[in-house]
């Protein structure tokens, strides 16, 4: 088969501490459900001459590509604040594929059966959550937010038992890498400085070769990740995305959004919004995401202490100095992001107050987060009566006056807003509707959603229904992790 796989499995060459060799567990009757042709093209893979039966075998792991070398990665994690030794309990990395530009991508099967890290679980995944990861990770990509992506979903033909009996599935996840903060926590917990040094050098070689010649690689790696994660969370806040499970094993060293479990997008603006059924205390609420990012980065810094300096006190001081810059850097980036959303050029001392007053009005009046900015761009939305409000109109007068500062033009402001504010996001009720239909074999709505989400900054009047939040109801929307 001339598909074009080109594997170079660098992680597999690391010492045994870092992983376990394990093949996917074969399934009875795999059936290809979705193949991401756009992503396949980016990877320089050609599946056009492969029939559905062979595609099903490939993406279920029943027929592994030549030169692949499947492993389960070892890592740990603070899950809701509690430290646990973990690892890939239901996923295997089959290898690292190089495209024609020598860009490196991890190819991982998620839901591929038991591994040495399964901790009593079955290692399988349910169809609904795998379809959910596919559609939301693709939406994030087209929203211009760093993310893992999904190449394929295969039904396994087997049942998976959770709260109920569900259809099984395997998702093929594509990432720049699957190193996590939790990977460093795992190696640090083993208290083997040699392995920690191997991991730092491997990480820098793979992701951040520009700091290879650094005099203090560990410290500079910390600073790079602080910057990466700050920008990532800013991107989440821009579009109202709530990750839902920001455990340290879900913070990627590559700076990508990873693990689309109980994630969702905020409709009505409320900074305390939580969707995850297991986040009872709101640890990972919308407005807590920057705080948790710093908390996770602090755990990362703790792992690096032995290699930041041989003098522990000095190492702690250097790490703390880097982390102490987080809040100021985050606020600067957040203000600039919100200025972009409002089409504001330049910096005025009243900008923060203008932004906060809009957010407070949205919260008080239960305004939709995404559609408020769409309305300000003079685009058509349904249910715009909420903006016929005295307080909003008074705020808008101040905003319009601010737009004219720094010799700015309205056209320039609208252009900036159009590039910063999506018109359409994966609305929770539409996702649920699409997943229900898809789980019963009807992919019509699922495919239509994918098509619309590929152009989130441009929606025609025929698709206005995809811009509207769910009708108000008494039932609180909840998401689940699928494990």
pLDDT at 473 > cutoff 60: no
Rounded distance between C-alpha atoms, residue 260 and residue 266, angstroms:
15
pLDDT at 439 > cutoff 90: no
Rounded distance between C-alpha atoms, residue 429 and residue 121, angstroms:
30
Residue-level pLDDT at 408: 83
Query: SS3 of 454, please?
Result: coil
Rounded distance between C-alpha atoms, residue 359 and residue 368, angstroms:
11
Residue-level pLDDT at 67: 93
**Residue 399 Cα distances to 17, 292, 339, angstroms:** 57, 32, 11
What is the pLDDT averaged over residues 456-463? 84
Q: What angle do CA 366, 368, 373 make, to 5 degrees?
A: 130
Specify burial of residue 302 (Cβ count, 10 A radius: 0-12, 13-18, 19+): middle
pLDDT at 366 > cutoff 70: yes
Residue-level pLDDT at 293: 98
Place of tokens 């990873």: 258
Residue-level pLDDT at 477: 65
Contact predicate 87/117, CB 8 Å: yes
What is the pLDDT averaged over residues 60-78? 95
Write out pLDDT tens, residues 248-297: 999 999 999 999 988 999 999 999 999 877 887 889 999 999 999 999 99
Contact predicate 335/395, CB 8 Å: no
pLDDT at 178 > cutoff 90: yes
What is the pLDDT averaged over residues 12-18? 96
Q: Within 10 Å of residue 309's Cβ, how many Cβ atoms?
A: 18
Write out pLDDT tens, residues 92-125: 999 999 999 999 999 999 999 999 999 888 899 9
Write out pLDDT tens, residues 308-327: 999 999 999 999 999 999 99
Residue-level pLDDT at 255: 96
At 471, the pLDDT band (50, 70, 90 cuts) reads confident
At 475, the pLDDT band (50, 70, 90 cuts) reads low
What is the pLDDT averaged over residues 63-87? 94
What is the pLDDT averaged over residues 173-183? 97
Q: Within 10 Å of residue 264's Cβ, how many Cβ atoms?
A: 26
- 35 sits in which H/E element: strand 31-35
Residue 266 CB-half CA count within 13 A: 27
DSSP calls for 132-150: HHHHHHHHHHHTT--B-EE
Rounded distance between C-alpha atoms, residue 236 and residue 289, angstroms:
9
What is the pLDDT averaged over residues 371-390? 90
What is the pLDDT averaged over residues 321-341? 98
pLDDT at 345 > cutoff 70: yes
pLDDT at 452 > cutoff 60: yes
Percent of the chain clearing pLDDT 70 (strictly above): 98
Query: How far out from the chain centre does Cα 20 lie?
Result: 25
Contact predicate 434/469, CB 8 Å: no
What is the pLDDT averaged over residues 377-386? 85
Residue-level pLDDT at 102: 95
pLDDT at 54 > cutoff 90: yes
At 440, the pLDDT band (50, 70, 90 cuts) reads confident
Query: How far out from the chain centre does Cα 208 lie?
Result: 20
Specify burial of residue 150 (Cβ count, 10 A radius: 0-12, 13-18, 19+): buried
What is the pLDDT averaged over residues 467-478? 72
- 150 sits in which H/E element: strand 149-161
What is the pLDDT averaged over residues 53-81? 95
What is the pLDDT averaged over residues 417-430? 95
**Strand-strand pairing, 125-126 and 104-110:** unpaired
Give me the chain's average pLDDT, please. Answer: 94
**Strand-strand pairing, 241-242 and 264-265:** antiparallel
What is the pLDDT averaged over residues 195-214? 96
Query: SS3 of 108, please?
Result: strand
Least confident range of 126-130, 242-246, 296-300, 469-473: 469-473
What is the pLDDT averaged over residues 79-83? 90
Rounded distance between C-alpha atoms, residue 235 and residue 372, angstroms:
18
Residue-level pLDDT at 410: 87
What is the pLDDT averaged over residues 68-81? 94
pLDDT at 470 > cutoff 90: no
Q: Which residues are catalytic?
A: 249
pLDDT at 482 > cutoff 90: no
Residue-level pLDDT at 379: 86
- 292 sits in which H/E element: helix 289-308
Contact predicate 398/353, CB 8 Å: no
328 token code pair = 């100021």
Residue 154 CB-half CA count within 13 A: 30
Q: Within 10 Å of residue 138's Cβ, how many Cβ atoms?
A: 21
Residue-level pLDDT at 407: 83
pLDDT at 219 > cutoff 60: yes
Q: Within 10 Å of residue 258's Cβ, how many Cβ atoms?
A: 22
């Amino acid at each position: 088969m001339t598909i074009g796989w080109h594997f170079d499995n660098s992680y597999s060459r690391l010492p045994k501490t870092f992983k376990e060799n394990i093949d996917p567990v074969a399934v009875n009757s795999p059936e290809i459900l979705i193949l991401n042709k756009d992503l396949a093209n980016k990877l320089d893979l050609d599946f056009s001459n492969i029939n559905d039966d062979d595609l099903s075998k490939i993406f279920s792991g029943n027929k592994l590509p030549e030169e692949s070398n499947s492993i389960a990665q070892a890592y740990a994690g603070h899950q809701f604040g509690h430290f646990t030794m973990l690892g890939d309990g239901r996923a295997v990395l089959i290898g690292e594929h190089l495209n024609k530009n020598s860009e490196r991508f991890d190819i991982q099967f998620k839901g591929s059966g038991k591994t040495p890290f399964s901790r009593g679980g079955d290692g399988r995944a349910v169809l609904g959550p795998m379809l959910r990861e596919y559609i939301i990770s693709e939406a994030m990509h087209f929203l211009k937010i760093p993310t893992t992506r999904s190449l394929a979903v295969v039904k396994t033909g087997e049942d998976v038992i959770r709260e109920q009996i569900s259809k099984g599935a395997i998702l093929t996840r594509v990432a720049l890498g699957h190193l996590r903060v939790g990977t460093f926590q795992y190696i640090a917990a083993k208290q083997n400085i040699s392995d920690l040094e191997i991991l730092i050098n491997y990480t820098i070689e793979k992701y951040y070769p520009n700091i290879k010649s650094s005099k203090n690689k560990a410290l500079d790696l910390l600073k790079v990740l602080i910057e990466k994660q700050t920008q990532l969370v800013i991107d989440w806040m821009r579009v109202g995305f709530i990750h839902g499970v920001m455990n340290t094993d879900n913070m990627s060293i590559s700076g990508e959004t990873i693990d689309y479990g109980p994630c969702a997008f905020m409709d009505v603006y409320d900074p305390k919004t939580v969707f995850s059924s297991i986040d009872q205390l709101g640890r990972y609420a919308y407005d807590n995401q920057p705080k948790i990012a710093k908390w996770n980065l602090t755990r990362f810094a703790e792992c690096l202490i032995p290699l930041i300096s041989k003098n522990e006190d000095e190492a702690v001081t250097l790490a703390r100095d880097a982390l102490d810059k987080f809040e100021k850097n985050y606020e600067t980036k957040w203000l600039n992001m919100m200025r972009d959303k409002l089409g504001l050029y330049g910096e005025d001392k009243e900008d923060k107050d203008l932004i906060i007053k809009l957010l407070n009005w949205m919260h008080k009046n239960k305004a939709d987060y995404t559609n408020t900015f769409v309305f300000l761009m003079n685009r058509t939305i349904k249910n715009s009566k909420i903006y016929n409000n005295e307080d909003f109109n008074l705020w808008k007068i101040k905003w319009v006056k601010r737009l004219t500062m720094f010799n700015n033009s309205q056209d320039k402001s609208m252009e900036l807003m159009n590039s910063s504010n999506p018109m359409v996001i994966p609305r929770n009720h539409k996702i649920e509707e699409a997943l229900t239909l898809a789980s019963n074999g009807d992919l019509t709505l699922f495919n239509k959603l994918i098509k619309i989400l590929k152009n989130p900054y441009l929606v025609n009047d025929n698709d206005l229904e995809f811009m509207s939040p769910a009708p108000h109801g008494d039932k609180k929307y909840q998401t689940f992790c699928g494990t």
